[in-house]
Structure 1
Amino acid sequence: MLDIKIWLETISIKVAEERFLKPPPLPYIIFMEGALVSGADDKNCIVDRDVSIELYSKLVDHESEAQIESLLNEKSIKYKKDRMWIDSETMFETTYDFNFVENF
């Protein structure tokens, strides 16, 4: 089982699941994870995970993006990347969305 938080903590950026109660200085990462659990023969043995990683930064942070993309590429995870400016927060949000299936 891939522990997303531990995995993301291998890069030197603060990480939280869902949110920080008090956001740290930029840049930081928030991730969210959803799961659909299923199986066969009355046993759950398959987890279909949807994950979203959000990188928040003052400027476009190519170095942090490269670190996240390196992690995803290392695991051969296909992902969708989007970036947007959040005017009300005066920061950029770069989002990585992906899905993977695990058997247990």
Structure 2
Amino acid sequence: MLDIKLWLETTSLKVSEERFLKPPPLPYIIFMEGASVSGADDKNCITDRDVSIELYSLKVDHANETLIEKLLNEKSIKYKKDRMWIDSEMMFETTYDFNFVEKF
């Protein structure tokens, strides 16, 4: 089972699930995860995981985007990338949304 937080911490950025109570200096990563568990023969053995990674930065951060994309590419995870300016916070948010299935 992939531990998303430990995996993202290999970028050396601050990482938190859902939110930081006191956000650290930019850049940092927030991730959210949902799961659907199923199986066969009255046993749960498959997890379908939906993950969203959010990179927050003062400017478009190609270096840290590349680190995240390298992690996704190493695991052959297909993803959707979006970027937006958050005017009220005066920062960029780059999101990576993906889904993968794990068998246990």
With normalisation by structure 2, the TM-score equals 0.99
- 1:47 alignment counterpart: 47
Looking at structure 2, the residues matched to 64 and 15 of structure 1 have their Cα atoms a distance apart, in angstroms, of 13
Shift of 1:12: 1.4
In the TM superposition, what are the counterparts of 1:1-104 in structure 2 within 5 Å? 1-104=1-104
3-state DSSP of counterpart to 2:97: strand
RMSD: 0.4
3-state DSSP of counterpart to 1:51: strand
Looking at structure 1, the residues matched to 64 and 12 of structure 2 have their Cα atoms a distance apart, in angstroms, of 9
Q: 1:19-67 deviations in whole A, cap 9, x for unaligned? A: 0000000000000000000001111000000000000000000000000
Looking at structure 2, the residues matched to 51 and 30 of structure 1 have their Cα atoms a distance apart, in angstroms, of 11
Looking at structure 1, the residues matched to 40 and 12 of structure 2 have their Cα atoms a distance apart, in angstroms, of 40
Looking at structure 2, the residues matched to 34 and 12 of structure 1 have their Cα atoms a distance apart, in angstroms, of 24
5+ unaligned residues in a row in structure 2: which ranges?
Answer: none
| Length, aligned pairs only | 104
Looking at structure 1, the residues matched to 31 and 58 of structure 2 have their Cα atoms a distance apart, in angstroms, of 18
Looking at structure 1, the residues matched to 81 and 22 of structure 2 have their Cα atoms a distance apart, in angstroms, of 26
Percent identity reads 86
Looking at structure 2, the residues matched to 10 and 89 of structure 1 have their Cα atoms a distance apart, in angstroms, of 26
The runs of at least 4 aligned residues of structure 1 exceeding 4 Å deviation read none
